[in-house]
Amino acid sequence: MAATNGSLTAWAGPWGVSFAINLTPDKTTGIGEWSEENFIQMARTGKHQGQPNGRDILPPMPWFNMKDLTDADLKAMWAYLKSLPPVKNQVPLPILPLAAAAAAAPK
């Protein structure tokens, strides 16, 4: 089960709390430093920036609905996102569930 806020920008579930990322091309808080290949690999693998050892992409990003899109479709999505005006909007990092946070804490 998952819950979200009224603006659908934060989701809470067994993974903890995750936040919708800034999909504008802002270079410091958005996807402005990503490449088209990073975006396509993220959609195919569900890993942050498409990196093999990147963190898992969490809800609300529906990467699992994008993984079977054609390269042409993903490139069109990328072109649209890059056409948006950059918006500086620092999004919080995911918050681990309490049990995972406790296990990761220094002892």
Per-residue pLDDT of the chain (107 residues; tens, 9 = 90+): 556 566 657 888 888 888 888 999 999 999 999 999 999 999 999 998 888 888 888 877 788 888 899 999 999 999 999 999 999 999 888 888 875 556 556 66
CA distance 19 to 36: 22
Domain-wise residue ranges, the chain: 3-95
Helix, strand, or coil (residue 18): strand
| pTM (2 d.p.) | 0.76
Alpha carbon distance, N-terminus to C-terminus of the chain = 31
Determine whether 18 is exposed, middle or buried from the number of CB atoms within 10 Å of its CB (0-12, 13-18, 19+).
buried
Cβ–Cβ under 8 Å, residues 25 and 82: yes
Write down the pLDDT at residue 25.
96
